[in-house]
């Protein structure tokens, strides 16, 4: 962007010098027109940078959403495996709870408590990770929306700035 600005300023300076040789009495007018051209170019360059920024915001949001979707799928699969494991390991102890033998009943109740405690802890951890991934997904969606809004605004403003630049260059070339 700086090279482009430097290049355009160099060309503009050469044009001014060549015009000054032929039209030395119009020097303030030409200077004013050149200033308008330079200001319009600067505005176009700034808006181009905003467009690039909005594009990168959209891309970052899309990457974040894609990553979060993958994490959510794996966490949901992990939760299903945990649920299946819990129910399969608890089933024999639930049968023992119906037993008439007091020792067997007590042992089954103790084992079920241990399984329940482990299941709740593992489930809580997975649910916390799901919440984190969901937040990442929502943040990515917000970034995409914001990027699209900024992109639209910047493109509209750049069209106007391009028109102003063409008009300023046209006026400058007439002088």
Three-state SS sequence of 78-112: HHHHHHHHHHHHHHHHHHHHCCCCHHHHHHHHHHH
Asked, for residue 23, whether it belongs to a domain, the answer is: no
**What would the pLDDT profile of 26-79 be if each residue is shown by its tens digit?**
578 888 888 888 998 999 999 999 999 999 999 999 999 999 999 999 999 999
CA quadruple 123, 75, 137, 131: dihedral, nearest 10: 10
Per the structure, the count of domains in the chain is 1
Q: Match 């050469």 to its residue by tokens.
A: 14
Which residue segment(s) compose the domain that 160 sits in? Answer: 2-16+29-174
**What would the pLDDT profile of 72-127 be if each residue is shown by its tens digit?**
999 999 999 999 999 999 998 888 888 788 888 899 899 999 999 999 999 999 99
Asked, for residue 21, whether it belongs to a domain, the answer is: no
| Other C-beta atoms lying within 10 Å of the C-beta of residue 39 | 14
Q: Decide which of 13 and 129 is more confident.
A: 129
Provide the CATH number for the domain around residue 109: 1.10.287.620
Q: Which value, in Å, is the radius of gyration of the alpha carbons in the chain?
A: 34
């Amino acid at each position: 962007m700086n090279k482009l600005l430097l290049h355009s300023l160099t060309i503009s300076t050469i044009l001014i010098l060549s015009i000054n040789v032929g039209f030395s009495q119009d020097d303030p007018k030409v200077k004013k027109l050149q200033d308008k051209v330079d200001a319009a170019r600067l505005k176009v360059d700034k808006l181009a940078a905003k467009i690039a920024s909005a594009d990168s915001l959209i891309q970052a949001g899309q990457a974040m959403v894609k990553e979060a979707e993958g994490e959510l799928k794996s966490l949901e699969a992990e939760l299903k495996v945990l649920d299946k494991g819990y129910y399969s390991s608890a089933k024999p102890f639930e049968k023992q709870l119906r037993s008439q033998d007091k020792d067997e009943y007590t042992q089954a109740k103790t084992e079920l408590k241990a399984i329940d405690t482990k299941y709740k802890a593992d489930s809580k951890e997975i649910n916390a990770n799901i919440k984190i991934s969901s937040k990442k997904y929502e943040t990515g969606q917000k970034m995409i929306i914001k990027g699209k809004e900024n992109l639209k605004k910047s493109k509209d403003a750049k069209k106007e700035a391009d028109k102003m630049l063409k008009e300023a260059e046209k006026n400058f070339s007439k002088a």
